[in-house]
C-alpha cells in the first residue's frame, strides 16, 4: 500500500511557488539559503520564510554557470550560479535575501559571484575550519551574532527569545519526525523507500514549516498503520547500499535511479542533501549563537578538515550508520570538482576496507554521457554484494 500523504506533499511542493508569490505580496520576506551551517531557526523566528536553494541535474545550467564562475567550480554550484543567471527557478525568483555559509570555499565563492554579477543581497556566515578548538568556537559565536545582526537589519525586527524558542521546538519536532520516518525505509517489509524519504526531506526545503511538520506526522501515522514494526536486518538476496559523498540535490536522480533500477536497495546516506544535517543536532541554549553551535557540533561537513584519522567524527558516524542500516556496500558519489569529497574517496575506501565494506566511487557530473559507464560499474557492484550475501547465507546453512 502506498503512503497517501506523500502524494499530498508532492502536490503541495508543486503549489508552493504560487503561494510564495502571494506571501511576498503580503509583505513576507523569503530567505534563500545554501550551506551546511545556516541556522534556519533564527531566520524563521525573524519572520523570514526560509527556503533551501537546491537545483541539480541540468547540464545546460551548469554550462551557463561556467560563464560566470568558470568550468572549474563544482557542478552543483555551477548549476546554482547558472540558475541565478537564467532566473527561471521559482524559488530563486522569489528570494529576497540570500544566506550562504563559508563551510565549503567554493560555496563562499559562489556567494561572491552571485552577489557581484546578479546584484543579490547576500549574507555570509563565517565557519571556522579548526572546529574542535575553543578559539574557533569563540570565533563562530561572534560570526553567528553578526549573521543574526545582518538578518535582523533585513527583517526590520530583532530576535525575540519566545519566538526563537518556538522555532527551535518546531524544527526539533521536524528533525525527530524525519529521523523516525527514516528508520522505516531501512526496515524489513518497508512500505516507504529510501528515495521516497529522500524526496520527503527535500520537500521540507521549500514547504511552510508548520505544514511540513503536520505532513510528516501524518506520514508517520500512516506508516505506523501499514508497517507495525521496524526491523532493520539484511534479507536474502538483498544488496543494501549506502550512499555517501557529494550533494545530490533535487533534479539530480541519475545515480539513484541507476542503483534502484539495477535492484540495489538504498538503505541510508550521509550526504548533505540527505538525512545527515538532521542528526545529532543538540541545541543547548536558546539564542542565535546557541543554535549555530548546535549546527556546528553535528557530524562535520567534508569541507572541514580533521587532521587525525582515528578520531574523525565523520568516519565514525559513517561506520555507525552503516552498522545501523545494515548496509553491505557504499556507493561514494563525487561530483566533478567537489574537492571536499573527491580528496577523501581513496581514504574512505581504504578505511572501510578494513571493516570489510566495499566502496565504489562514482565520479560524475550532470551530463548524461556517462550514464552507461556508471550503470555498468554499479551493476557489477550490486551483483558483487548480492553474491556475497548469497555466499555468506550458504556458509551459514552449510
Partner 1 sequence: MSDKKLFRYSEENKERFLDSANIKFDDGTEVTPEEIWHYLTVEGPAKYPNSFEINLYQGNRGTRDETLISSLKAQYLSLTLSERMEKAKDKGKTIAFIQGGQAVDPYTAADTIALRPALINSWYAGKTHGETIYQRNLRTRGIKERAYNDMSFEACQTGGYEQIQAGDLRVDIVAPYSVLRCSDVSYGLEAHRHGPNKDVKLFLADFPMRHQADKKWAIEYFAKNLRRLTKALDEITGKETTEEDLRESIKLHNKGRRLAVELADLWWSADVPPTNGGDRGSLVTLGNLEAHGDAQATLSVLEEARKEIEERVKNGVRGHGVAENPKRLFVLGSCVGLNNYRSEESGAIVVGTDNMWSHLTTIVDEEGDPYYNLAKATLEYPYEQSIEKRALWTVEQIKRSRAEGVIFIHNWGCNTQAAVSRAIVDVIKRETGLPTFISERELGGLQHEQEQNRVNAFIEMV
Binding site for partner 1 (CB under 8 A): 67-74, 102, 105-106, 108-110, 112-113, 115-117, 124, 126, 128-130, 133, 135-136, 138-139, 142-143, 146, 303-309, 336-337, 339-340, 342-347, 350-351
Grid coordinates representing 247 are 550533494
3-state SS of the chain is CCCHHHHHHHHHHHHHHHHHHHHHHCCCEEEEEECCCCCHHHHHHCCEEEEECCCCCCHHHHHHHHHHHCCCCCHHHHHHHHHHHHCCCHHHHCCCEEEEECCCHHHHHHHHHHHHHHCCCEEEECCCCCCCCHHHHHHHHHHHHHHHHHHHHHHCCCCCHHHHHHHHHHHHHHHHHHHHHHHHHCCCCCCCCHHHHHHHHHHCCCCCHHHHHHHHHHHHHHHHHHCCCCCCCCCCCCCEEEEEECCCCCCCCHHHHHHHHCCCEEEEECCCCCCHHHCCCCCCCCCHHHHHHHHHCCCCCCCCCCCCCCCCHHHHHHHHHHHHCCCCEEEEEEECCCHHHHCCHHHHHHHHHCCCCCEEEEEECCCCCCHHHHHHHHHHHHHHHHHHHHHHHHHHHC
What's the CA gap between 366 and 249, in Å, rounded?
A: 11
Q: At closest approach, how far in Å is the CB of 139 from partner 1?
A: 4
Query: Smaller CB distance to partner 1: residue 12 or 314?
Result: 314
Q: How far is the CB of 146 from partner 1 (least distance, A)?
A: 7
Q: Which is nearer to partner 1, 239 or 345 (CB)?
A: 345
CB 243, min distance to partner 1, A: 19
**Which lies closer to partner 1 via its Cβ, residue 121 or residue 347?**
347
Smallest gap from Cβ 41 to partner 1, in A, equals 22
The x, y and z cell numbers of residue 175, run together, are 528533525
Tell me the closest approach of the beta carbon of residue 335 to partner 1, in angstroms: 10
Q: Which is nearer to partner 1, 333 or 336 (CB)?
A: 336
Q: Nearest distance from residue 270's CB to partner 1, in Å?
A: 17
What torsion do the CA atoms of 307, 313, 318, 319 make, to the nearest 10 degrees? Answer: 100
Nearer to partner 1 among residue 18 and residue 343 (C-beta): 343
339/379 with CB nearer partner 1: 339
CB of 373 to partner 1, least distance (A): 16
Smallest gap from residue 265 Cβ to partner 1 (A): 29
Is 190 or 364 the residue whose CB approaches partner 1 more closely?
A: 364
Of 190 and 342, nearer to partner 1 (C-beta) is 342
Q: Between 213 and 359, whose beta carbon lies closer to partner 1?
A: 359
At closest approach, how far in Å is the CB of 311 from partner 1? Answer: 10
Amino acid at each position: 500500500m502506498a503512503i497517501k500523504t506523500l502524494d499530498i506533499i508532492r502536490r503541495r511542493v508543486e503549489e508552493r511557488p504560487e503561494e510564495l508569490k502571494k506571501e511576498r505580496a503580503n509583505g513576507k520576506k523569503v530567505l534563500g539559503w545554501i550551506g551546511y551551517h545556516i541556522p534556519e531557526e533564527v531566520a524563521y523566528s525573524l519572520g523570514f520564510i526560509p527556503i533551501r536553494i537546491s537545483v541539480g541535474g541540468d547540464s545546460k545550467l551548469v554550462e551557463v554557470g561556467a560563464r560566470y564562475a568558470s568550468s572549474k567550480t563544482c557542478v552543483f554550484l555551477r548549476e546554482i550560479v547558472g540558475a541565478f543567471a537564467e532566473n527561471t527557478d521559482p524559488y530563486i525568483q522569489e528570494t529576497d535575501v540570500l544566506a550562504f555559509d563559508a563551510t565549503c570555499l567554493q560555496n563562499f565563492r559562489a556567494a561572491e559571484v552571485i552577489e557581484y554579477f546578479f546584484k543579490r543581497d547576500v549574507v555570509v556566515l563565517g565557519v571556522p575550519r579548526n572546529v574542535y578548538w575553543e578559539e574557533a568556537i569563540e570565533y563562530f559565536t561572534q560570526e553567528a551574532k553578526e549573521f543574526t545582526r545582518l538578518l535582523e537589519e533585513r527583517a526590520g525586527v530583532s530576535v525575540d527569545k519566545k519566538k526563537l524558542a518556538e522555532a527551535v521546538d518546531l524544527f526539533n519536532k521536524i528533525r525527530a519526525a524525519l529521523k523516525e520516518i527514516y528508520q522505516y525505509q531501512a526496515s524489513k517489509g518497508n512500505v516507504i523507500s529510501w528515495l521516497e524519504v529522500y524526496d520527503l526531506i527535500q520537500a521540507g526545503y521549500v514547504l511552510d514549516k508548520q505544514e511540513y511538520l503536520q505532513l510528516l506526522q501524518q506520514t508517520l501515522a500512516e506508516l505506523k498503520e501499514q508497517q507495525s514494526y521496524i526491523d532493520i536486518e539484511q534479507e536474502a538476496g538483498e544488496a543494501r547500499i549506502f550512499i555517501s559523498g557529494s550533494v545530490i540535490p533535487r533534479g539530480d536522480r541519475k545515480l539513484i535511479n541507476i542503483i534502484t533500477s539495477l535492484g540495489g536497495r538504498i538503505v541510508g546516506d550521509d550526504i548533505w542533501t540527505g538525512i545527515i544535517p538532521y542528526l545529532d543536532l543538540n541545541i543547548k541554549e536558546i539564542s542565535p549563537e546557541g543554535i549555530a553551535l548546535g549546527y556546528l557540533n553535528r557530524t562535520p561537513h567534508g569541507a572541514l578538515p580533521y587532521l587525525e584519522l582515528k578520531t574523525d567524527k565523520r568516519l565514525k558516524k559513517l561506520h555507525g550508520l552503516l552498522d545501523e542500516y545494515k548496509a553491505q556496500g557504499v556507493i561514494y558519489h563525487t561530483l566533478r570538482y567537489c574537492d571536499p569529497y573527491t580528496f577523501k574517496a581513496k581514504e574512505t575506501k581504504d578505511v572501510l576496507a578494513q571493516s570489510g565494506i566495499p566502496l565504489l566511487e562514482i565520479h560524475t557530473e550532470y551530463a548524461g554521457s556517462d550514464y552507461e559507464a556508471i550503470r555498468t560499474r554499479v551493476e557489477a557492484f550490486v551483483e558483487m554484494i548480492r553474491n556475497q550475501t548469497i555466499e555468506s547465507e550458504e556458509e551459514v546453512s552449510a
